Amino acid sequence: MDSGLYRASSKLLWVPPGGKSVFGGQVMGQALHAAQLTVHRDSWLPISLHSYFLKRGSPNSDIIYQCRETSNLRSFDSRSVDAIQNGQIIFKMQAQFARPEESQLRHVERADGVTGMPRGVVAPDECLGMDDLLGDLMARAPAALLPLIEELRASPIEVRYAVGAPHDPLDPDPPSMPSRQLLWVRIREPITKAPGLDAACAAYISDQPLLLTALRPHRISFPSPKLGALATLDHSMWFHGPFDADDWLLYDMHAPFAGGQAGPSAGGREQGASSGRCFLNRVRQGPLLWPPLPPRHRRDLPASPALHRPSRRLVTASACNRTARRLVRPAGRAAPCQADAEKQGGALRDEGGGAARPLARGGPRLDVGR
């Protein structure tokens, strides 16, 4: 559009199944790539980002990314990015860039004291994939959930379970599980090796699974009749070196805290399958919104009085969770609804107005300017 201004077409913004607003990972990935386009030093890559989600993004209006050169120093460049829609700022990001260099001081330490790959992790070629799990669910899931499953199967992100098969997603009463998940993730199709594009794709991948990890100790799967909505308040990432987003990365997620108005916090790191090196860390925080529930469901909720008190401030349940809630009602109370999710992607246009190639065919896309 102009110097430091980039446009994401509303025609290609993606809304997750059952959602009402633009996928946060798409906004964050586009903002990071827009910032990268204003860095004019060869081979410089992002080393960190800190972002805040201020308002819901509408899929019916273009998003304008306004980038400002906060600083251009000898060793670091800083950029501020505002995502603007209908004259209002819906998202803010501060990102920093530097030349990739090997440090003489390097170590990776985890809370369990293990270096390299975590214990029990299986190589990605030997793991059960989400595609296999979704194929099994298609054969036995209620008709109301089939559109949601089809949308997940069209995702450009390939996922495999690094420590064994997950619990049955259709179980209405899942057991309490540790607040940790380990997944192998990668972009399905090869992506253009433009500066910073792998980091933008990693931002896109990271936004959804982290908060779902916080549900595991509370016997809640997704979608669930117990859950109203998921949202992100803030998201930070640190990049420790170059990596390929279309190669397998181990996504190690942990949610050490849940509670308070801001909701749970969750952190994750990604390591390469072949090298075992830690390439990035991230922390995300967001509220878990609970709908008012009938008394027969309330006994399964955590023992917090605030969660049982109906409130008009609670966000209406998304379509996929309304579907799940209807499935557990007695016969004759309500008929299953057809989840209606729109398949869309996203595109950034550069200053010349051109749009990039889609990241993958079909399903949600992170498209970025050339």
pLDDT at 336: 37
Write down the residue that tokens 């916090």 correspond to: 265
% of the chain at pLDDT higher than 70: 65
pLDDT at 86: 94
More confident residue, 178 or 299: 178
Q: pLDDT category, 360, cuts 50, 70, 90?
A: very low
pLDDT at 266: 64
For 95, counting Cβ atoms within 10 Å of its Cβ (0-12 exposed, 13-18 middle, 19+ buried), the class is buried
Q: pLDDT category, 83, cuts 50, 70, 90?
A: very high
Q: pLDDT category, 323, cuts 50, 70, 90?
A: very low
DSSP class per residue in 118-173: PTTPPPGGGSPBHHHHHHHHHHHS-GGGHHHHHHHHT-SEEEEEBTBPPPPTT-SS
Peptide bond between residue 118 and the one before it cis (omega within 30 degrees of 0): no
Coil, strand or helix: which one is 12?
A: helix
Burial 46-62 (b: 16+ CB within 10 A, else e): bbbbebebeeebbbebb
Write down the residue that tokens 């997950």 correspond to: 166
264 neighbors 226 (Cβ within 8 angstroms): no
162 neighbors 182 (Cβ within 8 angstroms): yes
pLDDT at 78: 96
Burial 359-369 (b: 16+ CB within 10 A, else e): bbeebbbbbbb
Write down the residue that tokens 């006994």 correspond to: 299
For residue 263, give the nearest of 221, 213, 298 by alpha carbon.
Answer: 213
Q: How many residues does the chain have?
A: 370
Poorest-confidence range of 65-74, 81-90, 198-207, 254-263?
254-263
pLDDT at 274: 57
Poorest-confidence range of 72-86, 217-231, 276-290, 328-342?
328-342
For 190, counting Cβ atoms within 10 Å of its Cβ (0-12 exposed, 13-18 middle, 19+ buried), the class is exposed
- How far apart CA 236 and CA 272 sit, in angstroms, is 20
- How far apart CA 370 and CA 192 sit, in angstroms, is 10
Q: pLDDT category, 155, cuts 50, 70, 90?
A: confident
- How far apart CA 313 and CA 6 sit, in angstroms, is 34
254 neighbors 180 (Cβ within 8 angstroms): yes
| 131 phi, psi to nearest 5 deg | -60, -40
State the DSSP code for 355.
B
**Residue 102 to residues 95, 116, 241, 245, Cα–Cα distance (Å):** 21, 18, 8, 20
For residue 329, pLDDT beyond 50: no
Residues 6 or more apart whose CB falls under 8 angstroms from that of 73 comprise none
Q: Which domains does the chain have, with CATH numbers?
A: 5-100+117-349 (2.40.160.210)
pLDDT at 223: 62
pLDDT at 151: 83
Q: What would the pLDDT profile of 261-315 be if each residue is shown by its tens digit?
A: 555 666 667 666 655 677 888 787 776 555 544 444 444 434 433 333 333 333 3
For residue 50, give the nearest of 208, 239, 231, 271 by alpha carbon.
Answer: 239
pLDDT at 273: 62
More confident residue, 131 or 212: 131
For residue 181, give the nearest of 223, 221, 212 by alpha carbon.
Answer: 212
For residue 321, pLDDT beyond 90: no
- How far apart CA 120 and CA 163 sit, in angstroms, is 6
Average pLDDT, the chain: 75
